[in-house]
Amino acid sequence: MKLSNRLQRIHDQIPEGSRMADIGSDHALLPVAAIRSGKASAAVAGEVNPGPYDAACKQVSDAGLKEKITVRRGDGLDVISTGEVEVITIAGMGGALIASILERGLSKLEGVQLLILQPNVGEDILRRWLLEHHWVVVAEQLLEEDGKIYEIITAMPQASSPIANEEVYRARPLKDGVELTEDLLLRMGPYLTDRATEVFFAKWESEIGKLQGVLQSISKSDQESSRDKAAEVQQLITSLQEVLACLPKVKP
């Protein structure tokens, strides 16, 4: 069974012999691959929807791994008990949804040593949640697959992280007076901005294009609140453009 590049990158970050839970596991491809490779010693595949749950059950059964992988139907972290796993993976959802899953299952995060998260959108919302709840982003990856750009965010509890959040999000001067502020680092990624690849530039040029569309739409209104919002969006566009102009492009 061959994983997509996106899932393979997540798989590769799981420490050898971990007890893991894959939330929103779909066809349970990641837990099956992790057990087969030895990355996981035991796994929980969680699914809230009946179709994917049935598909995950079949996948695990066909792989002959029912003793190692438990498929459970439930919402978010409801499928695990406190202390049951050390690693949680959540992939293919919006950042706001992943943050809400973690928020609702806060008590289940006790004893968890690694979160490997792949939001489709709203990465900044997820980083802000991690920061507020004392999780430290220790690695980030950016990849393009099938015409889509994905970010993978890996985080550890503050108590066991080799680096503090203060260091991760410390403002960084660039050139010509431009600064990567905490807000911009939360938006763009503290590690991704350190190594700005072509994919990184493509992502943010696309995001700026979307913001310009939003600005154009807001600017049609005469309301004061709309004018304030337009000024806010324009400031963000300018800040992003300045950062992109200052960052060196890293060749693959």
Close Cβ partners of 215 (under 8 Å, ≥ 6 residues apart): 230, 233, 234, 237
Please give the single-letter amino acid code of residue 68: K
Q: How confident is the model at residue 33 (pLDDT cuts 50, 70, 90)?
A: very high
The C-alpha R_g of the chain, in whole angstroms, comes to 20
Concatenate the DSSP letters of all residues of 197-241 into one string. BHHHHHHHHHHHHHHHHHHHHHTT---HHHHHHHHHHHHHHHHHH
pLDDT of residue 222: 76
Does the pLDDT value for residue 1 go beyond 80? no
Q: Which two tokens stand for residue 107?
A: 């008590």
pLDDT digit string, tens, across residues 138-148? 999 999 999 99
pTM: 0.95
pLDDT of res. 228: 86
Looking at residue 224, its pLDDT comes to: 78
pLDDT above 90: residue 63: yes
198-230 per-position pLDDT tens digit: 999 999 999 999 999 999 988 887 777 888 889
**Phi/psi-derived region of residue 122, left when phi > 0, alpha when psi is between -120 and 50, beta in every other case:** left
Mean pLDDT taken over the chain: 95
Reduced to 3 states (helix: H, G, I; strand: E, B; else coil), residue 248 is: coil
For residue 252, name the pLDDT band (cuts at 50, 70, 90): low
Q: What is the pLDDT of residue 226?
A: 81
142 touches 199 (CB < 8 A): yes
Segment 33-39 mean pLDDT:
98
Integer Cα distance of 22 and 44 in angstroms: 6
CB atoms under 10 Å from CB of 136, counted, come to 22
pLDDT at 176 over 90: no
pLDDT in tens, 85-105: 999 999 999 999 999 999 999
Question: Tell me: the pLDDT tens digits for 225-245?
Answer: 888 889 999 999 999 999 999
Where residue 247 falls (left for φ over 0; alpha for ψ -120 to 50; beta otherwise) is beta
Q: Which amino acid is at 48?
A: V
Please measure the distance between the N-terminal and C-terminal CA atoms of the chain and give it in whole angstroms. 27
